[in-house]
Amino acid sequence: MGSSLLAPAPSTHWSARRLRGPAVLFGLLALALAAPAPAATPGASLKKFEEGVREFTAGHPAEALQAFQVSMELEPSPNTLFKIAKCYLALNRTASAYTSFRRAARLAEDRIKATGEQRFAPTQAAADAEAVQLASLVPHLLLALPADLPPRVTLALDGEPLPPALWPSAIEIDPGPHRLSATGSSINPYETSFEMQPSEEKHLELPIVRRQTGTIVLSFAQRPVGLSVIIDSEPIAPEQLTSPLILGIGLHKMEISAPGYLDFFAEQTLHDKEALTVAVSLNLAPRPKGAVPKVAPIVAGAITLAVLGFGIGFGAMAQSAENDQLALDPLFRDPTVRDGIRTNATIANALFGISGALGLATVGLAIATRPPRPPPPRPRRVSGGLALVPGTPVTRSAAPAEGGH
């Protein structure tokens, strides 16, 4: 994590964007087969290992560390991990070196037990010896956290998340300057800088202050496809809807929508440590009387394409016949064929005109079948500061919100 400990493996974040818009009349579906990522080139791990050895011998431990780390990712090995520990030691990152030596020893031991490869025995012995020598030089950080620390608080050391399992214990940390930050939806952001000396055991108190917050739970009678939840103009990710939403005190505006349903609106004034459950039941949007069936533009579009196809066919026959006649000597051209060319060309032009008219009609049907967006109902004020669409059940609780202290 930054200049402390070993850098964790990078994480991959997936993100999804929901696209909304009018229905399209025609489209082409492209199918793509995702090819698996190619395997590492044989010998690539050894090549990076040898590069690391050259850089380390040349007195460049930072460059050597990068090469050894790549080699370790391509092919994990106790020997490579031992070299990584040596690089950390040369960079005065004693905690990272200590951890890497211990990991190298354990990995070598596992290899020996699993495969009987005794060539890793010297690596295990050397790594254990190095770790014993470093143990007294490793700085340790002890965190003093508030007893009423709210949930969903994240600590980051030098920009990297610090796992909660480490918070109560003495954290092995490299010498030098560091930065510790605390963030969360229920606390005021906090950040501090400090410096560690070799062998130092530092007690660091974090004066984390809880924000005045409450929770809102949205209870859905149904979850239609395309469900969208917006609170205070900010979209809420679907995975967040499965747990209580921690919000600051004050007025919050909610808008919940889904294709084919009437929008749901609510305004909530939330108090400190208050827990609120809002029952959300979306109603289907009514279809206007005499509305054109949704399948109408599809049928009209299919007919348009069929007529256009016939027109193209007659036009192609006329063009082909005309080209054949022009290739002949004028004395040998057939008048009856010329009449057929005129007939086919006339039919093609007529079909093109019909297909154009049908295309305009298709567009009109598509617009007619698009469901109108109903105007938002005017919320009415009820007790407690909640303004909801009439008939919306609301449950309030005086119990402290989840994590609120």
* Higher-scoring residue by pLDDT: 84, 115: 84
Torsions phi, psi for 234 (to 5 deg): -115, 125
pLDDT at 386 (0 to 100) = 38
Q: What is the pLDDT of residues 365-379, one digit of tens each?
A: 777 666 655 555 544
Lowest pLDDT segment from 81-90, 113-122, 216-225, 393-402: 393-402
Residues 120 and 66 in one domain: yes
Residues 378 and 360 in one domain: no
Residues 94 and 194 in one domain: no
Question: What's the CA gap between 163 and 6, in Å, rounded?
Answer: 13
pLDDT band at 159 (very low <50, low <70, confident <90, very high): very high
186-193 mean pLDDT: 93
In this structure, what CATH number is given to the domain that contains residue 99?
Answer: 1.25.40.10
With respect to residue 185, please indicate whether it lies within any of the assigned structural domains.
Answer: yes
- The residues near 230 (Cβ < 8 Å, ≥ 6 apart) are 236, 254, 255, 256
Residues 52 and 127 in one domain: yes
Residues 71 and 129 in one domain: yes
With respect to residue 310, please indicate whether it lies within any of the assigned structural domains.
Answer: yes
Question: What's the CA gap between 147 and 155, in Å, rounded?
Answer: 16
64-88 mean pLDDT: 96
CB 283 within 8 A of CB 300: no
Token pair 């490793």 in the structure block, residue: 138
pLDDT at 157 (0 to 100) = 96
Residues 78 and 127 in one domain: yes
271-284 mean pLDDT: 90
Domain boundary among 137, 158, 191: 137
Count of structural domains, the chain: 4
CB 108 within 8 A of CB 101: no
Question: What's the CA gap between 83 and 53, in Å, rounded?
Answer: 8
pLDDT at 126 (0 to 100) = 96
With respect to residue 270, please indicate whether it lies within any of the assigned structural domains.
Answer: yes
126-153 mean pLDDT: 93
Question: What's the CA gap between 170 and 140, in Å, rounded?
Answer: 6
DSSP 268-293: EEE-TT-EEEEEE-PPBPPPPTTPPP
Question: What's the CA gap between 49 and 43, in Å, rounded?
Answer: 10
Mean pLDDT across the chain, nearest whole number?
80
Residue 232 confidence (pLDDT) above 80: yes
Q: Which two tokens stand for residue 368?
A: 């007619």
Written as one letter, the residue type at 251 is: L
CB 394 within 8 A of CB 264: no
pLDDT at 350 (0 to 100) = 86
- The residues near 95 (Cβ < 8 Å, ≥ 6 apart) are 4, 5, 138, 139, 172, 173, 174, 175
Domain that holds residue 150: 140-205
Sheet holding 228-231, edge to edge: 234-235, 228-231, 250-257, 264-270, 387-388, 380-381
Residues 93 and 170 in one domain: no
CB 149 within 8 A of CB 164: no
The dihedral through the CA atoms of 326, 332, 337, 338 has a sign that is: positive
pLDDT at 377 (0 to 100) = 52
Domain boundary among 205, 235, 256: 205
* Higher-scoring residue by pLDDT: 353, 36: 353
pLDDT at 336 (0 to 100) = 81
With respect to residue 200, please indicate whether it lies within any of the assigned structural domains.
Answer: yes
242-266 mean pLDDT: 91
With respect to residue 37, please indicate whether it lies within any of the assigned structural domains.
Answer: no
pTM attached to this predicted model: 0.54
Residues 280 and 389 in one domain: yes
CB atoms within 10 A of CB 401: 25
Residues 225 and 119 in one domain: no
**Of the candidates 72, 92, 95, the residue with the CA atom closest to the CA atom of residue 84:** 72
pLDDT at 148 (0 to 100) = 85
With respect to residue 243, please indicate whether it lies within any of the assigned structural domains.
Answer: yes
Q: Which two tokens stand for residue 92?
A: 């005065």
- The residues near 179 (Cβ < 8 Å, ≥ 6 apart) are 2, 157, 158, 159, 191, 192, 193
Burial 156-167 (b: 16+ CB within 10 A, else e): bbbeeebeeeee
Q: What is the pLDDT of residues 79-95, one digit of tens each?
A: 999 999 999 999 999 99
Residues 281 and 221 in one domain: yes
With respect to residue 342, please indicate whether it lies within any of the assigned structural domains.
Answer: yes
Burial 321-360 (b: 16+ CB within 10 A, else e): bbeebeeeeeeeeeeeeeeebeebbebbeebbebbeebbe
Lowest pLDDT segment from 36-45, 252-261, 320-329, 340-349: 36-45
Question: What's the CA gap between 55 and 58, in Å, rounded?
Answer: 5
Residues 341 and 220 in one domain: no
CB 42 within 8 A of CB 199: no
- The residues near 79 (Cβ < 8 Å, ≥ 6 apart) are 104, 120, 123
Domain boundary among 78, 103, 137: 137
The dihedral through the CA atoms of 75, 81, 86, 90 has a sign that is: positive
Residues 250 and 346 in one domain: no
Q: What is the pLDDT of residues 305-345, one digit of tens each?
A: 888 888 898 888 888 888 877 877 777 777 787 788 888 88
With respect to residue 23, please indicate whether it lies within any of the assigned structural domains.
Answer: no
What is the rounded radius of gyration, in angstroms, for the C-alpha atoms of the chain? 36
